[in-house]
Structure 1
Amino acid sequence: MKKQQWIVVASGLVLLFALFFWGRTKPDAAKVQAAQGNAEPKEEQLDSGSILETAKSRLTPEQQAWLTARENSVVRGDVTSQKIRLYDELASFWKDSAHVFEPFMYYLGEKSKLENSEKSLTFAAHLYLRQLKGVEQHALQVWMANQAADLFKQALTLNPENDSSKVGLGSCYIFGASGASSPMEGIQSILEVTQKDSTNMYAQFMLGYGGIMTGQYDRAIERLNKVVHADPDNTEAVFLLAEAYERHGENAMAAKWYEEGKKFVQNPEALKEIDKRIQELQF
């Protein structure tokens, strides 16, 4: 098994309590190059319409007919209230019946925008952000980052002092959302939060994650060490710290943290792969 395939152990554990499981992987060397601004072939840009149509085309004829009828059900009157109910119904359909994440999240997000509630906006935005970290297709990751960024921006108009939303928006820029010239701009906005409150572990974690994506492994190690010291049971931080040490060439420390992460893993095959990686690092 390749390194970037088995490292999904970490993200898989983090997503264990999420809604869906698709075996997504963490950022790889190609994304580090993209984050640093190095040349990389341009990928096709995705839009919401094409994502919804692709998902719909994979449904049964009966499901497609039902969905089309519901999509055209909004009539005159209180259109906003009708749309909120419709988007809630469509989100439930994609979540519970079709089991497709992207349309579910799209309609949940659109419903949140109409409700204009900080709680619902940030819930949808953070759900996007948690899931996109494991997305392998860069174009899809960018689409999700843009969706989350729009939600965070609207939430910040309601509460401009919400540090979690500020960190979330900065994180979206790290993952390629429109509105920033580079991932470093997203990192800088998160740094502003930690300068005000160094104990904000969400900000420290995302700075560590951003450090890995931009090839700043020494800084990633510094940030992630703070996170695991404050929260030893942060599974994703433990595995990311191991990965940061490995990419920085500190194999002994990488092996130590991979060993530490084993306590979070119950899957025998995953444990076997972690042990294999530890052995490779020790020679």
Structure 2
Amino acid sequence: MKKQQIIVVGGGVALLCLIYFFGRTVPTQKAGPVAAATHQDSTAIDIKAILSASKQKLSVSQQEYITRLEASVVRGDVKEQQIQMFKQMAGFWRDSAHALLPYAYYTAEAAKLENSQKNLTFAAQFFLDGVRRQPDPSLRNWMATQAKELFEKGLELDPNNDSLKIGLGSCYLFGNISSNPMEGILKIREVAERDSTNMYAQFMLGQGALMSGQMDKAIERLTKVATKEPNNLEAVLMLADIHEGRGNKSEAIHWYEAAKKKLGNPEIIADIDQRIKALKQ
């Protein structure tokens, strides 16, 4: 298992599934650095075509079920019927078809109609979690655009919600949805400067520093997060990875050992043990 995979698993099994299914939803393209994407990449994604193609991969009975759901919105309280239809579609794609891009899409559509801050936040965060781990530039940009819309709708309901502000800034940071790369950083920094104890903001700024090659700043912020929130495996493993890359063996070993205490996967622990052994040589 590669070093990058360890960091991914640190995000949890749910996020690992997110990468797997999001990554298999569109034709494979050559992965590149985040900076290689532009705010125009989303034009390459046709969600309706993706949904149609996904449907064609289903069994005949599953296709018939989807068709019935699609035709279930009739006269009367159309909005409520649409909400229920979107929720049923989301549940089907998650539980029966195991395809998380259609699940995310329908979950988001239901949340937009309900206009509930809780559901908007859930859908937005689900997309954002995928953005940070999606190698395909076009899909990453499209997902960030969806998350941005959802976070903005959430902020309309609760303008002072710092988590939503950080989430919105992160869409710019990781999705390249703006020609100004600082736009996302500034949105997150606004929260961090006002509340230095907000670890969500510190974590995102740490990743931003890492992306821009500012390793000292990345270490400073991620260390703050890992110290305050030792269960944040992603921050811990990022620190181990950064220190290993810089040749700081003792620090890398320290953070790998810290991660081992929080992990329950024997395969990952064995891989970390191999890394620690190599660092000690």
Same fold, TM exceeding 0.5?
yes
Aligned residue for 1:127, secondary structure, equals helix
2:163 is aligned to: 164
Q: How does 1:10-25 map to 2 (within 5 A)?
A: 10-16=7-13, 20=17
1:3 is aligned to: 3
2:266 is aligned to: 268
Give, as a single letter, the amino acid of the residue that structure 1 aligns with 2:139: L
Aligned counterparts of 2:275 and 2:54: Cα–Cα separation in 1: 37
Aligned counterparts of 1:189 and 1:57: Cα–Cα separation in 2: 41
Offset at residue 124 of structure 1 (A): 1.3
Match of 1:197 among 195, 198, 202: 195
CA displacement, residues 57-113 of structure 1 (integer Å, 9 cap, x when unaligned): 221122112212321332233221111111011111111111111111111111000
1:63 is aligned to: 62
Give, as a single letter, the amino acid of the residue that structure 2 aligns with 1:34: A
Distance change (3 Å), C-alpha of 1:43 and 1:71: closer
Match of 1:213 among 211, 217, 226: 211
Q: How does 1:121-270 map to 2 (within 5 A)?
A: 121-178=120-177, 180-270=178-268
Aligned counterparts of 2:107 and 2:162: Cα–Cα separation in 1: 23
Aligned counterparts of 1:55 and 1:177: Cα–Cα separation in 2: 26
* Aligned 8 A contact 2:236 2:255 in 1: yes
2:114 is aligned to: 115
Distance change (3 Å), C-alpha of 1:34 and 1:130: same
* Aligned 8 A contact 1:218 1:248 in 2: no
Which structure 2 residue ranges, 5 or more long, are not aligned? 22-30
**How many matched pairs?**
271
Distance change (3 Å), C-alpha of 1:282 and 1:137: farther
TM-score normalised by structure 1 residue count:
0.85
* Aligned 8 A contact 1:32 1:214 in 2: no
Percent identical residues? 48
Distance change (3 Å), C-alpha of 1:23 and 1:251: farther
* Aligned 8 A contact 2:225 2:235 in 1: yes
CA displacement, residues 217-249 of structure 1 (integer Å, 9 cap, x when unaligned): 211111111111211121111111222323444
Give, as a single letter, the amino acid of the residue that structure 2 aligns with 1:3: K
* Aligned 8 A contact 2:19 2:130 in 1: no
Distance change (3 Å), C-alpha of 1:182 and 1:55: farther
* Aligned 8 A contact 2:120 2:150 in 1: yes
Aligned counterparts of 1:33 and 1:90: Cα–Cα separation in 2: 34
